[in-house]
């Protein structure tokens, strides 16, 4: 049996549009161990949400949405499952938390009823026992007076409480994997930190693995065991939090780290210049080449594969790694500082 609960191999999601084929996900590989928190990070539009939705088979149903590759969950390929089989997996074994809690909550029903529905459907729990479970889950996610709150409607909850409610719903059937797509992006900073703390506590208590999708590298350092960095439909670097934050290899990862405020790093923030390539007109070589401060000729002609670095488990798709460029100046050269000073 594999040590992973999920193994995504060469996942591709291509959308056929009037403008051409949009390669939103284009050969993604991911691995998640039981109880692990994996962050998938990258700029807006790089394919993070489409990756999550493809794993859950929320996309890929229409003729214009072409899905390929493998998504092994406990050794079974989800891409080969029928829709009826997927319905049994979603919510029960793998659940999803979206950015906007109102995607998951129906304004017409009280929150308790909506959470209770999950164990009723998936575990045939009688109504009363399912309601008890809902109250218990609300308590677990830190909602005060859960008995009373369960009978209230989503509009009676604050934004942060609604997201806690959705997390309670996602936990109600004791899944072994939660895919949380920007679960805190719509919340203000203090509440964001509380919800992230909650996710970590729940993982510690329940042992559920979490795939946390975010464009904000700043939020993941403390929370995640592993980080996968995504760029233009591909994973360009993957490793433990320490690998990614202390010894990033890919110039894109280095650029991301320079562009977000981080505790203990006082240097001036430097956004990565330029834009990612269009997903329906991708370059032949490395997709980051146009923005890369270390670009070489080879980078423009050939796409680099993910290679293991000197640290086992830390992989990077960059020709600098392949070429074994040992010129430390090159690797650690500070990114050019802008000339003007304030």
Q: Least distance to ligand ATP from the beta carbon of 195, Å? A: 17
Using CB distances below 5 to 8 A depending on partner kind, what does residue 164 bind out of Mg ion, ligand ATP, none? none
Nearest residue (beta carbon) to Mg ion:
49
Q: List for the chain the helix, strand, coil content (%; round to 5).
A: 35, 20, 40
Least distance (Å) from ligand ATP to the CB of residue 179? Answer: 12
> Across-strand partners of 71?
8
| 46 belongs to the binding site for ligand ATP (CB under 6 A) | yes
Q: Which of 45, 142, 218, 277 binds ligand ATP (CB under 6 A)?
A: 45
Q: Does 22 bind ligand ATP (CB under 6 A)?
A: yes
When binding is defined by CB under 6 A, the residue of 2, 17, 145, 151 that contacts ligand ATP is 17
Binding to ligand ATP in span 23-42, by CB under 6 A: 24, 42
Least Å from the CB of residue 184 to ligand ATP: 13
Please tell me what DSSP assigns to residue 51: H
Q: Quick one: 126 or 271, whose CB is closer to ligand ATP? A: 271
Q: Is 252 an interacting residue with respect to ligand ATP (CB under 6 A)? A: no
SS3 38: strand
Q: How far apart are CA 245 and CA 76, in angstroms?
A: 33
196 contact choice in Mg ion, ligand ATP, none (CB below 5 to 8 Å, kind-dependent): none
Which two structure tokens, joined as six digits, stand for 74? 């406990």
Judged by CB under 6 A, the chain residues 149 through 188 that form the site for ligand ATP are: none
In 3D, which of 326, 289, 291 has the Cα closest to residue 304? 289
Binding mask 259-298 for Mg ion (x = CB under 5 A): ----------------------------------------
46 binds, among ligand ATP, Mg ion, none (CB under 5 to 8 A by kind): ligand ATP
Residue 105, burial from CB neighbour count under 10 angstroms (0-12, 13-18, 19+): buried
Considering only residues 36 through 55, tell me which ones interact with Mg ion, judged by CB under 5 A: 49
| Residue 154 interface partner, choices Mg ion, ligand ATP, none, CB cut-off 5-8 Å depending on type | none
- Mark residues 262-291: x for contact with ligand ATP by CB under 6 A, - for none: -----------------x------------
Residue 15, interface with ligand ATP (CB under 6 A)? yes
In DSSP notation, 250-308 reads SHHHHHHHHHS-BTTB-SPP-PPPS-PPPTTS--SS-TTGGG-TT--HHHHHSPPPPEE
Angle between helices 111-123 and 127-140 (to 10 degrees): 120
- Residue whose token pair is 């549009």: 17
- Which of ligand ATP, Mg ion, none sits in contact with 45, Cβ below 5 to 8 A by type? ligand ATP
112-121: list long-range contacts, CB under 8 Å, 24+ apart.
112/138, 112/149, 112/150, 112/151, 114/169, 115/150, 115/165, 115/168, 115/169, 115/172, 116/172, 118/91, 118/92, 118/169, 118/172, 118/173, 119/172, 119/173, 121/91
Supply the minimum distance, in Å, between the C-beta of residue 210 and Mg ion: 16
Look at residues 278, 233, 273 and name the one whose alpha carbon lies nearest to residue 256.
273
Binding site for ligand ATP (CB under 6 A): 15, 17, 22, 24, 42, 44-50, 215, 279
Binding site for Mg ion (CB under 5 A): 49
């Amino acid at each position: 049996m594999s040590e992973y609960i999920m193994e995504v191999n060469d996942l591709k999601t291509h959308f056929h549009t009037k403008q051409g084929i949009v390669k939103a996900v284009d050969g993604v590989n991911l691995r998640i161990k039981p109880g692990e928190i994996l962050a998938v990070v990258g700029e807006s539009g790089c394919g993070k949400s489409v990756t999550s939705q493809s794993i859950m088979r929320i996309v890929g149903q229409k003729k214009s949405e072409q899905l390929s590759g493998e998504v092994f969950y406990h050794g079974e390929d989800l891409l080969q499952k029928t829709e009826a089989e997927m319905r049994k997996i979603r919510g029960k074994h793998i659940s999803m938390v979206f950015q906007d809690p109102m995607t998951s909550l129906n304004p017409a029903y009280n929150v308790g009823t909506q959470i209770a529905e999950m164990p009723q459907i998936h575990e045939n729990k009688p109504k009363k026992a399912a309601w008890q479970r809902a109250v218990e889950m609300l308590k677990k996610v830190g909602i005060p007076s859960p008995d009373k709150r369960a009978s209230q409607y989503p509009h009676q909850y604050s934004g942060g409480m609604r997201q806690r409610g959705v997390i309670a719903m996602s936990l109600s059937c004791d899944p072994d994997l939660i895919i949380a797509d920007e679960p805190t992006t719509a919340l203000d900073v203090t509440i964001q930190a509380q919800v992230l703390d909650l996710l970590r506590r729940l993982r510690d208590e329940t042992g559920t693995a979490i795939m946390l999708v975010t464009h904000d590298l700043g939020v993941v350092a403390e929370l995640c065991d592993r980080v996968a960095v995504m760029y233009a439909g591909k994973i360009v670097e993957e490793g433990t939090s320490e690998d990614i934050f202390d010894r990033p290899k890919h110039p894109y990862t280095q650029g991301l780290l320079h562009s977000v405020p981080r505790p203990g790093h006082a240097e001036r923030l430097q956004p990565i210049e330029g834009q990612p390539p269009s997903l329906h007109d991708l370059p032949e070589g490395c997709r980051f080449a146009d923005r890369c401060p270390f670009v070489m000729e080879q980078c423009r002609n050939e796409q680099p594969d993910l290679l293991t670095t000197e640290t086992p488990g830390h992989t990077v798709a960059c020709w600098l790694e392949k070429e074994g460029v040992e010129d430390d100046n090159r690797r650690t050269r500070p990114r050019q500082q802008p000339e003007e000073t304030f």
